[in-house]
Amino acid sequence: MLKRISIDALKPGMFVHKILEQKGALEIKNQGKVTSQKVIDLLKKQGVKVLAIDTDKAFEPAGASDGKILSESDRSEKVTAKKKPKTVKVSLESELTKATKLHAQGKEIQKLLLDSVKKETPFDASIPKEFSNKLVASVDRNPDALLCLTKIREKDDYLLEHSLNVAILLANFATFLGLSEEKVQELSYTGFLHDLGKINIPDEILHKPGRLTDPEMEIMKSHVKHGVDYLLNTDVAMPLIQAISEHHERLDGLGYPAGKKGDEISTEGRMLAIADMYDALTADRVYKAGMSSQKAFSILMNEAPTRLDVVLVQQFIKCLGVYPVGSLVLLSNERLAMVLKQNDSPFSPIVKVFYSVKGNHYLTPKDIDLSGDKALKIDKAVIASDYGIDVNAFFERSVSIG
């Protein structure tokens, strides 16, 4: 018999038939056994308010789970599958060596994928999928390494770097939200493939510095269809293609290509839209410098809740931090620093000081934990072009690799 209950009435040993009311947009399984209090705490955290339970399927819980509702297939897999080895966390410096090689590999794979789309020839989907899994593994070991590398930009390589960076952002975002390893990998893979259709947009439109005319905008919008049409002839899973098709859809129905609105847009599509917009706003182009993360965050929040999912935007900003890893800040002593690691205090991260604004010269890089230095604070976020600094040059000087 089905019974409607509030989340506060849910107990271990109950069987959830359906989630009836949920605040926010995080996707969770609708049906399965509640094996522990940890499951209930997670459901509350994810905004579940009201559920339907099946009293005929009540059971005696036998130990704690890993924090999710277990379906029968989950339970079977949990019994038979080997437990995944716990990821060993490593230092930023240690992971940067691997991450740098991985980042370069990603650009090469992206180049091959774009060439395949341009020539309308098939590609081996296992290659980008395996690469995306490697990105997730790097994020597991140390999330800050690849985030630092998203700040390494070649102005002529935007098309290659954008999808790579979105894949990295989504791997971090999905991990931060506590999604399953499989879901994190899928989202990273989706980000890596999401803009393949842009290779079919003429360069004079793709790289136009000014506002696009209405006919040019229609051509630009067609990149979504180009990418989706190509992927439909591959073995990429349909849910991933759906998310890719939605990365320019907006909650108010004024996005493209289908004009979807509200609940018609999947959670994955909403997450992809946020990561895509953030990276596009902060990227350096041939014709303009990227904006600071703070300005990009402001634009994302202005787009919510009418166009972007406000809960996910807030979580995305919380994931990256007030001053994201890899971003530049001006300190109160007129020196520039790169953010290396977040602290409990969001306004006092660990930074690497490397440049004197007053003296207009590089300094011997020095790590400073701002949470432990009361005399020093961040004055504001800045971008490299404000001071005529090349991103790649200051990165090489400010972060020791290896």
C-alpha–C-alpha distance, residues 241 and 315, integer Å: 24
Distance in angstroms (rounded) separating the CA atoms of residues 323 and 155: 23
Contacts of 105 (CB under 8 A, 6+ apart): 131
- Looking at the structure, tell me whether residues 274 and 290 fall in a common domain: yes
Query: In this predicted structure, what is the pLDDT of residue 85?
Result: 55
Residue 24 clears pLDDT 90, i.e. is over it: no
Residue at 288 is within a domain? yes
How much is the pLDDT for 1? 72
d(CA 160, CA 206): 13
Distance, CA of 359 to CA of 333 (rounded, Å): 12
Q: Is residue 372 part of a domain?
A: yes
The pLDDT value recorded for residue 127 is 93
pLDDT at residue 126 is higher than 80: yes
Query: 69 falls in which pLDDT band (50, 70, 90)?
Result: very low
Type of residue at 149 = L
**Residue 92 and residue 142 in contact, taking contact as beta carbons nearer than 8 Å:** yes
**pLDDT confidence of residue 395:** 58
Contact present, 338 and 317 (Cβ < 8 Å): no
**387 contacts 362 by C-beta, under 8 angstroms:** no
pLDDT bucket at 74, cuts 50 / 70 / 90: very low
Is 84 inside a domain boundary?
no
Confirm whether 55 is domain-assigned.
Answer: yes
Q: Which of 165, 378, 372 is nearest to 281 (CA)?
A: 165
Q: Identify whether residues 243 and 362 lie together within a single domain.
A: no
Does residue 261 sit in the same domain as residue 211?
A: yes
Q: How confident is the model at residue 55 (pLDDT cuts 50, 70, 90)?
A: confident
Residue 374 reports pLDDT greater than 50: yes
Looking at the fold, whether 122 and 183 belong to one and the same domain comes out as yes
Higher pLDDT, residue 10 or 217? 217
Q: Does residue 211 share a domain with residue 354?
A: no
Show the tokens assigned to 90.
């490593």
DSSP string, 179-209: --HHHHHHHHHHHHHTTGGGGGS-HHHHT-S
Q: Are residues 177 and 224 in the same domain?
A: yes
Name 380's bridge partners.
330
Q: How much is the mean pLDDT over the chain?
A: 86
**Residue 145 has what pLDDT?**
93
Mean pLDDT for the stretch of residues 326-346: 92
Let me know: does 351 contact 337? Beta carbons within 8 Å: yes
Q: Give the integer Cα–Cα distance in Å for 386 and 152.
A: 16
Confidence of residue 68 (pLDDT cuts 50, 70, 90): very low
- End position of a domain, from candidates 79, 101, 136: 79
**pLDDT at position 232:** 92
Residues near 218 by Cβ (< 8 Å), separated by ≥ 6? none
Question: Percentage helix, strand, coil, to 5, in the chain?
Answer: 50, 15, 35
- Provide the pairing of β-strand 48-54 with 2-6: antiparallel
Give percent of the chain with pLDDT exceeding 70. 88
Q: Worst-scoring range by mean pLDDT, 66-70, 188-192, 384-388?
A: 66-70
Q: Are residues 129 and 49 in the same domain?
A: no
**Is the predicted pLDDT of residue 66 greater than 60, yes or no?**
no
Per-residue confidence band for 80, with pLDDT thresholds at 50, 70 and 90: very low
Domain count, the chain: 3
Residue 384: the pLDDT is 87
Considering the domain architecture, whether residues 201 and 296 belong to the same structural domain is answered as yes
Interatomic CA distance for residues 227 and 207, integer angstroms: 18
Q: 43 lies in which domain range?
A: 2-79
Share of the chain above pLDDT 90, in %: 59
What is the domain-level CATH number for residue 249?
1.10.3210.10
Q: Where a domain ends, among 53, 79, 105?
A: 79
* pLDDT greater than 90 at residue 52: no
| 29-38 mean pLDDT | 69
335 in the same domain as 296: no
* Distance separating alpha carbons of residues 305 and 312, to the nearest angstrom: 10
Tell me which residue of 337, 284, 311 sits closest to 165, measured CA to CA: 284
The pLDDT, as a whole number, for residue 291 is 92
- Do 307 and 282 lie in one domain? The reply is yes
Q: Averaged over 316-341, what is the pLDDT?
A: 94
Amino acid letter, residue 185: Q
pLDDT average, residue stretch 176-201: 96
Instruction: Look at residue 22 in the predicted model and tell me its pLDDT.
Output: 77
> Is residue 86 one of the residues assigned to a domain?
no
pLDDT at 389 over 50: yes
Q: What is the pLDDT of residue 73?
A: 40
Give CA–CA dist 266/276, Å, rounded: 15
For residues 72 and 100, membership in a common domain is answered with: no
The length of the chain, given as a count of residues = 402
Q: CA triplet 204, 207, 209: central angle to 5 degrees?
A: 100
Nearest alpha carbon to residue 164 among 234, 100, 236: 100
**What digits encode the pLDDT tens for the residues 160-169?**
999 999 999 9
What local confidence, expressed as pLDDT, does residue 248 receive? 98
Rounded (10°) angle between helices 238-245 and 267-282: 50
pLDDT tens track for 205-263: 998 988 999 999 999 999 999 999 999 989 899 999 999 999 999 999 999 999 999 99
* Per-residue model confidence (pLDDT) at position 64: 43
Task: Name the CA radius of gyration of the chain, rounded.
Answer: 23
**Same domain flag for 350 and 290:** no
Residue 167 lies in a domain: yes
Residue 155 resides in a domain: yes
Structure confidence by residue, pLDDT tens digits, 355-367: 999 999 988 889 9
Q: Could you tell me which of 32, 21, 20 has the C-alpha nearest to residue 67?
A: 32
The CA distance from 154 to 169, in Å, is: 18
Q: Does residue 85 lie in a domain region?
A: no
The pLDDT of 64-78, averaged and rounded, is 42
What's the count of helices (H) and strands (E) in the chain, helices before strands?
Answer: 14, 9
The two structure tokens encoding residue 305: 């809740």
Residue 82 predicted with pLDDT over 90: no
pLDDT of residue 178: 94
pLDDT at position 394, please? Answer: 56
Phi and psi, residue 6, nearest 5°? -85, 160
**Domain final residue pick, 15, 50, 79:** 79
Q: Which residues pair with 367 in a beta bridge?
A: 352
Residue 248 DSSP code = T
Q: Of the given ranges (69-83, 145-159, 172-186, 272-286), which has the lowest mean pLDDT? A: 69-83
